[in-house]
Homo-oligomer: A and B are copies of this chain.
Amino acid sequence: MTEQSTAALDTALAYHRAWTNQDFDQAMTYLAEDIICQAPAGRLHGAEAFRGFMGPFVQIVTSSKLIAAFGDETTAVLMYDTDTVPVQDAPGAECLTVADGRITHMRIIFDRLPFDAARRTAVSAQPDHVQ
């Protein structure tokens, strides 16, 4: 037993379990309305902007596995692997700040390159008239 609180980790894991179980609406309940998310493509302000970023990703995830999860009272870090429709083995890492049971800040890191490559391949495979 330790006296260390893991309140932020508990919230981060609840959020993670929800979206990896394809229940993105449940996942959204763990986010602060004014969440700031620093994503690879830039900074997102607010829960609806976050939904527009993360919601479509959740829909293409076919499986996921938690690699590591640590945290304390205010901060948690998760690393996980995902398989997605366009890209297999697409890991991500998140550093989450939590206040009053809600995620107020998220820094998320993943490699956009294979997604970009898959998109380019999909476009080049289209018949000419729909390019």
* A interface, CB within 8 angstroms of B: 2-4, 40, 67-68, 70-72, 75, 77, 79, 91-93, 95, 107, 109-113, 116
Identify 30 residue pairs between A and B in the complex whose beta-carbon atoms are under 8 Å apart, listed by A's number. A2-B2, A2-B3, A4-B4, A40-B111, A40-B113, A67-B95, A68-B75, A68-B77, A70-B70, A70-B71, A70-B72, A70-B77, A77-B77, A77-B79, A77-B93, A79-B93, A79-B95, A79-B107, A79-B109, A91-B107, A91-B109, A92-B109, A93-B93, A109-B109, A110-B111, A111-B111, A111-B112, A112-B113, A113-B113, A113-B116
Q: Tell which of B75, B79, B113 touches A111, judged by Cβ atoms closer than 8 Å.
A: B113
Known: A110-B111, A111-B112. 15 other contacts (CB 8 A): A2-B2, A2-B3, A2-B4, A40-B111, A67-B95, A68-B75, A68-B95, A70-B70, A77-B93, A79-B107, A91-B107, A93-B93, A93-B95, A109-B109, A113-B116
Residues of chain B within 8 A (CB-CB) of A2 are 2-4
Q: Nearest Cβ distance between residue A105 and chain B, in whole angstroms?
A: 11
| Contact A109–B111 (Cβ < 8 Å) | yes
Q: Nearest Cβ distance between residue A94 and chain B, in whole angstroms?
A: 9
Within the assembled complex, what's the spacing in Å between the Cα atoms of A95 and B91? 11
Within the assembled complex, what's the spacing in Å between the Cα atoms of A55 and B32? 40
